[in-house]
């Protein structure tokens, strides 16, 4: 299967990430962009770039016909979907293949089988992979309530076609069931066009641990260890790490083999992730399978020394996996923070706008996968991710301390962001000790403490002094090295009071 010119059907940091690997492999790249992304970094980095329509994704990045037309116009013989958008769209994958374009992802039938959570549970059970007890078939409200009561509260309502935490509700008692079901169905319908919801037994304070798997067209399958993604907010991952502080060598082997059973059951090709919930006793249960590259793949690359995008391309070309299971290393520890344009002090409200100043961390064992630059815009139409900051260390605490240092170097002006939020997390003792669960952010321990009037006055005077000094530095002649005002660092300083 030819892969001599790749169209990246995505935007932001993941498009930039794919372009970098293609460049290393000597493969020309094609970018697509909406009206809002005309000046975006991925457009500047690609060898060619083509417009695909208005800013809303449903009129640009999600229109399969537009992506296909650009592929034909540019002569691209392969399409990399990144994650999100068309990455788990089986019909898009099928259409590209029918037109002789290699889809750098799994086969369409694998996407279909894993696309429905209820169907995926059935595949996992048939393959001998442990699953959370639950009710898989679609039922009316009254029937669901009866079955939930038999199972015992608390239970979790989940959208059958869901992902990213959409259409999920924890129900702790029968009186909450009807209203929670209505909200879950409404959110599922608006997010996925399908209001089907199923019920699972809720695991209290679970850990979210996932296994990276890879398959090729020759029937070979391997797992590339685990990632812990338990630090979440509203079911959205915030911090990821590899390996997991909860997983023993025996558990790692058991989870990896269980994940491969699922991958082999659907004849999986390419990069995929089998996600599990684990309890305090290290029992683990199948949650879902994501049939694409994950946002958090850099932490796996850190501990294995592998380029997962390169592996995707090699497999799409029809080549065998570069390594066998016994040849895959596990070296050290890696940590990733998702840097977003959002305001943690205002319920993480998105903060789109122009980035007026940007200085990203660097140095040994620091990696910043970004999709923006100083002067670029964070559009209001898409996920407000600025970058994925990741670090590596020989041990977990060394990786955390390296992250603390890297976060201390990050400077972003013009928009609100969550860098200070991540710094507080890196210093939070339960996190540092590895005592994680998916509800650890339910209490906003990162918010600013209240201060008395005397301390407020002292802080205000200090801020005025700092800002006055900054203005003087900004007035220095060009080349003096003091001409970049960064007012946000003052917010960071005083936010730690």
For 4-61, what is each residue's pLDDT tens digit? 999 999 999 999 999 999 999 999 999 999 999 999 999 999 999 999 999 999 999 9
**Residue 44 designated active-site:** no
Angle at 436 between CA 431 and CA 441, to 5 degrees: 80
| Domain boundaries for CATH 3.30.1490.20 within the chain | 133-201
The topology (CATH level 3) of 207-432 is D-amino Acid Aminotransferase; Chain A, domain 1 (3.30.470)
Please say if the pLDDT value at position 95 is more than 60.
yes
Q: Within a 13 Å sphere around the CA of 198, how many CA atoms are in the beta-carbon half?
A: 20
Q: Look up residue 129 and give its two tokens.
A: 């992979």
Q: Which of 9, 203, 179 is nearest to 95 (CA)?
A: 9
Q: Look up residue 458 and give its two tokens.
A: 């002292």
SS3 of residue 111 by DSSP: helix
- Band (pLDDT 50/70/90 cuts) for residue 116 is confident
- Residue 475's pLDDT is 46
- Residue 484's pLDDT is 38
Please say if the pLDDT value at position 481 is more than 80.
no
- Residue 473's pLDDT is 46
Neighbours of 332 (CB within 10 A): 18
Statement: the pTM of the whole predicted model exceeds 0.95: no
- Band (pLDDT 50/70/90 cuts) for residue 164 is low
Q: Which of 292, 338, 367, 411 is catalytic?
A: 292
| Domain boundaries for CATH 3.30.470.20 within the chain | 207-432
Lowest-confidence segment of 1-10, 137-146, 334-343, 401-410 by average pLDDT: 137-146
With contact defined as beta carbons under 8 Å apart, do 287 and 276 qualify? yes
- Termini Cα distance of the chain: 58
% the chain with pLDDT above 70: 89
Please give the average per-residue pLDDT across 117-141, as a whole number.
85
Q: Which of 164, 203, 207, 236 is nearest to 431 (CA)?
A: 207
SS3 of residue 368 by DSSP: strand
One CATH from 3.40.50.2300, 3.40.50.20, 2.60.40.3500, 3.40.50.300 for 6-104: 3.40.50.20
Residue indicated by tokens 């060598």: 249
With contact defined as beta carbons under 8 Å apart, do 405 and 384 qualify? no
Q: Within a 13 Å sphere around the CA of 367, how many CA atoms are in the beta-carbon half?
A: 20
Greater confidence, 489 or 85?
85
Please give the average per-residue pLDDT across 226-234, as a whole number.
95
- Residue 483's pLDDT is 36
Helices and strands in the chain: count of H runs, count of E runs: 16, 23
pLDDT digits (tens, 9 = 90+) for 420-444: 999 999 999 999 999 999 999 998 8
Alpha carbons 407 and 226: distance in angstroms, whole number: 24
| Domain boundaries for CATH 3.40.50.20 within the chain | 6-104
The topology (CATH level 3) of 133-201 is Dna Ligase; domain 1 (3.30.1490)
φ, ψ at 197 (rounded to 5°): -135, 140
- Residue 136's pLDDT is 63
- Residue 448's pLDDT is 63
With contact defined as beta carbons under 8 Å apart, do 203 and 279 qualify? yes
Please say if the pLDDT value at position 469 is more than 70.
no
With contact defined as beta carbons under 8 Å apart, do 75 and 5 qualify? yes
Please give the average per-residue pLDDT across 130-157, as a whole number.
82
pLDDT digits (tens, 9 = 90+) for 315-371: 999 999 999 999 999 999 999 999 999 999 899 999 999 999 999 999 999 999 999
Q: Which of 201, 198, 178 is nearest to 138 (CA)?
A: 198
With contact defined as beta carbons under 8 Å apart, do 241 and 228 qualify? yes
Alpha carbons 283 and 309: distance in angstroms, whole number: 31
With contact defined as beta carbons under 8 Å apart, do 352 and 120 qualify? no
């Amino acid at each position: 299967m030819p892969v001599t010119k790749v169209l990246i059907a995505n935007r932001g940091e993941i498009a930039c990430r794919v372009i970098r690997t293609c460049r290393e492999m000597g493969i020309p790249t094609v970018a697509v962009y909406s009206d809002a992304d005309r000046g975006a970094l991925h457009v500047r980095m690609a060898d060619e770039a083509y417009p695909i329509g208005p800013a809303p994704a449903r009129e640009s990045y999600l229109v399969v016909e537009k992506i296909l037309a650009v592929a034909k116009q540019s002569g691209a013989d392969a399409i990399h979907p990144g994650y999100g958008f068309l990455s788990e769209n089986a019909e898009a994958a099928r259409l590209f293949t029918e037109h002789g374009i290699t889809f750098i992802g799994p086969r369409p039938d694998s996407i279909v089988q894993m696309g429905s959570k209820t169907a995926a549970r059935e595949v996992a059970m048939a393959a001998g992979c442990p699953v959370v007890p639950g009710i898989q078939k679609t039922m009316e409200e009254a029937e669901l309530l009866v079955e939930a009561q038999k199972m015992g509260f608390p239970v979790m309502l989940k959208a059958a076609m869901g992902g990213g935490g959409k259409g999920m509700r924890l129900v702790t008692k029968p009186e909450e069931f009807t209203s929670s079901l209505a909200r879950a169905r409404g959110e599922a319908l608006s997010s996925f066009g399908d209001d089907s919801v199923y019920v699972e037994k809720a695991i209290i304070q679970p850990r979210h641990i996932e296994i990276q798997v890879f398959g090729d067209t020759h029937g070979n399958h391997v797992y590339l260890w685990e990632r812990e993604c338990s630090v979440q907010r509203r079911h959205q991952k915030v911090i990821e790490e590899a390996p997991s502080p909860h997983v023993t060598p025996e558990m790692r082997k058991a989870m990896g083999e269980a994940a491969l059973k699922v991958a082999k059951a659907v004849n999986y090709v390419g990069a995929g992730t089998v996600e599990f919930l684990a309890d305090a006793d290290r029992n683990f249960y199948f949650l879902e399978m994501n049939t694409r590259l994950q946002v958090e793949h850099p932490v796996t690359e850190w501990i294995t020394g592998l380029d997962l995008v390169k592996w995707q391309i090699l497999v799409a070309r029809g080549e065998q996996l570069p390594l066998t299971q016994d040849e895959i290393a596990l070296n050290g520890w890696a940590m990733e923070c998702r840097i977003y344009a959002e305001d943690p002090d205002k319920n993480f409200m998105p903060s789109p706008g122009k980035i007026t100043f940007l200085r990203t961390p660097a140095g040994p064992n620091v990696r910043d996968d970004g999709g923006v630059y100083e002067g670029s815009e964070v559009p209001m139409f898409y996920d407000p991710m600025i970058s994925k900051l990741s670090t590596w260390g020989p041990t977990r605490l060394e990786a955390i301390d390296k992250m603390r240092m890297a976060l201390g170097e990050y400077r972003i002006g013009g928009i609100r962001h969550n860098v200070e939020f991540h710094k507080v997390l890196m210093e939070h003792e339960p996190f540092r000790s590895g005592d994680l669960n998916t509800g650890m952010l339910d209490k906003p321990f990162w918010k600013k403490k209240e201060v008395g009037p005397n301390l407020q006055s002292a802080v205000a005077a200090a801020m005025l002094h700092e800002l006055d000094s900054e203005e003087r530095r900004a007035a220095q002649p060009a080349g003096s090295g003091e001409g970049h005002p960064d007012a946000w660092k003052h917010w960071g300083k005083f936010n730690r009071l």
